[in-house]
Structure formats: structure tokens, C-alpha cells
Chains A and B, each alone.
Chain A
């Protein structure tokens, strides 16, 4: 006897109800998968941003500047060139970028504003930031040592000052020895990230210019970029052992936004996922319970003929599995189609809190998640079916047959 064939006949016998069950599961699954795919891509891009802005491994000095205390301006990492040389020799390391952080006032004519500045290796800096640091109005050549040093401004900061590319501006800052320093610079271009804290208040210049301005060869941090992010912890541990008086962190420890968003999304999507699962379970178990209850006469007959309960359960669970497999296949295809359509349409998300710009919606298609979620739903259908069968077999044979 071909039980599979009999299960198929039973499923087709009840086409309308089966169709509604299929649709509930398929739509529920698609919602879960698309939501999850969006979450995964968001996590991934936040990790990407964290790694690109901070580096995979970061070296900072343990002790704050004795004069400037807890301020943004910390030029305490000395002897960093030796560390840089050493790291260049490691084939896991792609780039080692020094960054000197300083702060002060920037003015153009009678307009002035507070700034947070970084002295960096400009070309390399833009390379590692990739699409997350965009520029406009760039002069050529830019941020290269010249008679008048160059700077780049955050787009909004330039707007505040009414400055355009080519303008001359004055930087004022305080050195570690307490004296103040002043430098006339040329605006060589603008950059923007979509994060107001950066675009409204920061400027960038070459490390050479910063060194001149601050009269110090020290930097604030050394950012290490690796070929593979998986090496981060190994490198961190190695450096922490080898170097003294410094703190070595991985990007994970500095990816504050990523961790914040992740814990928020995990909760939101977790609860949403749970709700969808419960709704699917309730809807499906309701339909299945009704469908199986209406077959109590058949169940009673099987029982009257001496069929063991195990056989009866097996039949109904086989049907549930077939429905579950068909429904989840449809759901996965649906999720796959929706994800691809959204990715191709290049839709934009509205700006998240703390951002001025939205970002493109991208939905990951993760086959392990597809199959695990489908398995969960198939189990749900099987459980619903099991419960319904148990209830239907509890009706006495005579009652069910009359």
C-alpha cells in the first residue's frame, strides 16, 4: 500500500482548506525570511562601517594627556612608527593607519566654529572608508604638503562657515604644553557620511599638517586593517602581549552603533518573528484541527478495523509533512523573489535616528536561515496535526461512526 499516494489523495480531496493552509504558512515564512534577510544585511553593513572607520584592530595609549585630560585631543601614542614597521612585516596586515586627533576653533572671516580634527594619511583613509565616506568639490592635488596646507571639512561644517573649496581658513588649537597654535589652511574639499556628529563638526588634514600645527610626532591611535577580519582577535592578542603601556582593541569593542542596533533589532525582529510563528501556528492548527475533526469517522473506521494508533498518527503526520514541505517551498520561493525584487529596485530606508540620510534596503538571502526557518514551520504543522489527531482519536468509535 502506497501511503504517500494515499496522503496525496487526502490532501487533494480537501483542496480549498489545504490551499488556505499553504498560503498562511507560505506568507508567514516569506515574512520571516525577508525580515531576517533585512536584519542580516543591516548587521553586516553596520559591522562593515565599524571596521572601515576604526580598523580591525586599534592601538591606543593607556594614559590620557596630562594637560588636556579627557578631551578629544589625545596625542599620547609615541614610537608608533616602530609598531607600524613591525606590522607591515605581517602578511595578515593590509594597512596600518596613524590618526592624530585634535580640536580647536576654525574661522573664516568673522565666522568661526568648534571643530574636531584628524591628522591622517588621506589617500589611505579614503580607501579604507570606501562608500561610507563620500566627497564633493575635491581639488586636485589635495591634502598634499604644499606652501599652504590643505584641509577637508565635513559638508555641514563648511556650510556653517560659508566656506567653499579653495577658501583660506584659520585653525586655532592648543598644544600639549599649553601654548596655542594657529595655522592658515586651504579648503581642498568636502566629505560627508550621513552622520551629523561627523558632518557638522569634523575636519581632516594630513598627518604632516597636524604634526606642524600641534608640534608633536605623537598620534592618538594606530588603526590596523587586515586582509581577513577573522584574524582580528589573534592580532589583538599578539599586540597586547608585545606592546607595553597601550591598549589594543578589536573593532567589535568599538562598534558601539552595531551593538546598539543589533540588540534593538534582535528584540524587535525576535518578537515579530515570534508573533508571526504564533499566528501561523494558531491559524494552521485551527484549520488542521477542523480538517482532521471532520475526518473523525474515517479515523474511527481505521480504529474499528484494528489499526494501531501509531499507524493513524503516521498517516496524518505524513500529510502534515507534505503540506509543510509544499508550503515552505512556496514560502522560500516567495521570499527569494521579494528579496531579489527589493534589491533590484534599490529602495531606500528612511534615515535612522542619529543619521541625516537613509540607506539602501538590501535583503540577504541566507539559505541556512531559509531551511532552518522552514524546518521550524514544518515542525509547527506536524505538532498541530499531532494534537488534532490526538483529539480526534479520543472521540469514541461508536460516536464517530453514528
Chain B
């Protein structure tokens, strides 16, 4: 199996030299193509920080990491932007839907950014709306949705472009069982068809059970995996 993601002694510190907070310390692990990896850890253990770095929206203080063998530290700002657009699907803890876009538009947006043909966009979005049980909500704005519905739109938006790497920050937090299941089903499909890899921070036993492997964070440090 090819390596999708390789972290090499990643550290993250916040604040100045004197009273700095160490959010991550010396984190190294690899994620292979098609792997489902769960990240466990109590609140404040550094899960979000780690995922943000892996998703190219934050930079480590030390260490490097490699996406498909390419050193991320070497990438320019606009190259990172391209990776985020093309290869990474991010499921945010707080959904982060665009308020002025409808459900349909929110989900279609990543495809639009990637220059997918309008016909294809329409087909793909409609299909995914169906899978996620959101077709009756397609024209609604985020503020008109329940928390669970918003989370599903967030999941759909991350998965629609079939990214190589899906990063999810506690995605099932507000999903009911049925939809969490549908989401996972979808992830599994992506995983089989395109070899997508998944990095999921979660407390949910249901989600963790579906993963191939799990790592545990505690106070920014990796606990030895069992």
C-alpha cells in the first residue's frame, strides 16, 4: 500500500517563547492509501490541531509531513490552496456551511471550484442529496436546518469531490445513528472505489469500530498504539 500521509516529528506550540503552550509534541505516524484512521483523545488533547495541520489549514512549529510523498513544507500558499481544493475533503466540527448558499449550492461548491461541468455537478449533487436524505432541503439555507442536517451537508460537501484524503473533526457529534451510518457507508464506498484515506477524530464508539486503526492523543502526545 502506498503512503498517503506521513507525519515526521510534528510539533505545535502556541504563544511566545516564555509561556508557550505545547498543543502537539513530536507526533509521527503514517496513513496509507485507503486506510481509515481514528484519532481518540479527551478534549484539549490536540486532535483539532493535528487535523488542521494534516488538512493544510495550519502549519506545524516543527517537523514536516508528506502528502503523497510531497513535503508540505515546500509548498507555496497557492499550492496548498490547490491541494485543499482538489485532494482534501474537510468535515468541520462546527459544520462551517456558507450562510448565503443553499444546501444544494453548499454541496456543489467544491465541484464548481474544481471546474466540473455543470451537468456533472447537477447529477452528482442530486445523487448525494438523495443518499444523505437531504433532497427535500436542497433549496434551504443553512439557518433553516437542524444541527444534524447541517452536519450532513458538511459531510456531503467534503465527500462530493471524491477527495484522496478526508479529514473529519468529530463528524458524528450531531448525527443521529441512521445518518451517521449512511455517512460512513458513503465513506466506505469512496474508500473502495478511489482508495480515499480517512482521518477521523471521534469519541463515538460506532465510528471508531468502523475504522481500521486508531491512535490516541493525550496532552499533545501520541500514546503508543495497541
Contact = CB atoms under 8 A, between A and B. Distances in A.
A9 interface: yes
Contact of B57 (A9, A10, A297, A304): A304
Interface of B: 52, 55, 57-58, 78, 81-86, 88, 90, 92, 94, 96-101, 105, 108-110, 112-113, 141, 157
A108 to B, nearest CB: 85
Contact of B81 (A6, A7, A9, A308): A308
A307 B113 contact: yes
B65 to A, nearest CB: 16
Contact of B110 (A6, A297, A303, A305): A305
Contacts of B85: 305-307
A306 B58 contact: no
Nearest to B94: A401
A247 interface: no
Contact of A298 (B88, B99, B141): B99
A222 to B, nearest CB: 73
B102 to A, nearest CB: 9
Interface of A: 1, 6-7, 9-10, 13, 297-298, 301-308, 311, 396-398, 401
22 contacts: A1-B105, A1-B108, A1-B109, A1-B112, A6-B101, A10-B99, A13-B99, A297-B96, A301-B96, A301-B97, A301-B98, A303-B57, A304-B55, A304-B57, A304-B92, A304-B96, A305-B90, A305-B109, A307-B81, A307-B85, A308-B81, A397-B57
Contacts of A311: 113
A9 B100 CA distance: 6
A257 B99 CA distance: 61
Given A298-B99, A301-B96, A401-B92, A306 B141 contact: no
Contacts of B99: 10, 13, 298
Nearest to A7: B100
Contacts of A398: 52, 57-58
Contacts, number: 64
- Which of A10, A304, A306 has the largest number of chain B CB atoms within 10 A? A306
Classify the secondary structure of A's interface with B: helix
B92 A306 contact: no
A397 to B, nearest CB: 4
Nearest to B52: A398
B52 to A, nearest CB: 5
A304 B84 contact: yes
A38 B43 CA distance: 68
Given A1-B108, A1-B109, A398-B58, A304 B100 contact: no
A245 B97 CA distance: 86
Given A1-B105, A6-B100, 16 more contacts: A1-B108, A1-B112, A7-B100, A13-B100, A301-B98, A305-B84, A305-B90, A305-B109, A305-B110, A306-B84, A306-B113, A308-B78, A397-B52, A398-B52, A398-B57, A401-B57
Nearest to B108: A1
B153 to A, nearest CB: 13
A6 B106 CA distance: 11
Nearest to B55: A304
Contacts of A308: 78, 81
Nearest to A9: B100
A305 B82 CA distance: 9
Nearest to A306: B85
Given A1-B112, A307-B85, A6 B55 contact: no
Contacts of B100: 6-7, 9-10, 13
Contacts of B112: 1
A304 B96 CA distance: 10
Contacts of B108: 1
B98 A302 contact: yes
B90 A304 contact: yes
B98 A303 contact: no
B81 A301 contact: no
A393 to B, nearest CB: 11
Contacts of B83: 306
A1 B96 CA distance: 19
Contacts of A303: 57, 81
Contacts of B88: 306
A301 B96 CA distance: 6
A9 B142 CA distance: 12
A7 B108 CA distance: 17
A304 B92 CA distance: 10
A397 B100 CA distance: 19
Contact of A401 (B82, B96, B109, B113): B96
A311 B58 CA distance: 21
A10 B82 CA distance: 26
A301 B109 contact: no
B177 to A, nearest CB: 27
A311 B113 CA distance: 10
A292 to B, nearest CB: 13
B169 to A, nearest CB: 10
Nearest to B87: A306
B123 to A, nearest CB: 16
A31 to B, nearest CB: 33
Nearest to A304: B57
A301 B57 CA distance: 10
A397 B59 CA distance: 11
B161 to A, nearest CB: 9
A1 B109 CA distance: 8
Contacts of B58: 396-398
A6 B92 contact: no
A381 to B, nearest CB: 19
A384 B108 CA distance: 30
Nearest to A10: B100
B145 to A, nearest CB: 15
